[in-house]
């Protein structure tokens, strides 16, 4: 079952036509804009795989306007990718409803920032 989440200040109808990750102006961070639900998770995930991880390791999710539990799968996949590439990853701006869902699933600690250890393993 997918859980629909929507921050109080946004609605699904307010979402931009194109959702996904974009590079920050300085190119060092990823910014998420729009929705991330079962309807678009495959396309968003596929597009993210074509991008190099952000050089600062920062992924800003404050532009997430509407999400369901599919968003957690994408965030976990990004965390796994960063660990595999021995790169830091810091997820910021996560909406409280998404964090609450992560706590219910017992995966909130997996969304914590990772650091590079220099040996191919994230910690």
Q: What is the pTM of this model?
A: 0.78
Topology given in CATH for the domain delimited by 20-110 = Transcription Regulator spoIIAA (3.30.750)
Confidence of residue 9 (pLDDT cuts 50, 70, 90): very low
Q: Residue 17: which pLDDT band, with cuts at 50, 70 and 90?
A: low
Q: Are 53 and 87 in contact (CB under 8 A)?
A: yes
Q: Is 40 left (phi over 0), alpha (psi -120 to 50) or beta?
A: alpha
Check residues 88 and 118 and name the one with the higher pLDDT: 88
Model confidence pLDDT, tens digit, residues 29-77? 999 999 999 999 999 999 999 999 999 999 999 999 999 999 999 999 9
Please state, in angstroms and rounded to a whole number, the distance separating the CA atoms of residues 121 and 45.
22
Q: Is the pLDDT assigned to residue 94 strictly greater than 70? A: yes
Please state, in angstroms and rounded to a whole number, the distance separating the CA atoms of residues 42 and 6: 20
């Amino acid at each position: 079952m997918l859980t629909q989440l929507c921050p109080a200040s946004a609605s699904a109808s307010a979402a931009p036509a194109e959702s996904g990750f974009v590079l920050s102006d300085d190119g060092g961070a990823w910014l998420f804009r729009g929705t991330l639900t079962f309807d678009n998770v495959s396309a968003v995930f596929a597009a993210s795989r074509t991008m190099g991880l952000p050089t600062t390791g920062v992924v800003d999710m404050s532009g997430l306007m509407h999400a369901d539990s599919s968003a957690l799968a994408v965030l976990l996949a990004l965390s796994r990718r960063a660990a595999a590439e021995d790169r830091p990853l810091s997820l910021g701006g996560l909406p409280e409803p998404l964090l609450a869902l992560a706590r219910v699933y017992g995966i909130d600690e997996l969304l914590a920032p990772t650091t590079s250890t220099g040996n191919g393993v994230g910690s």
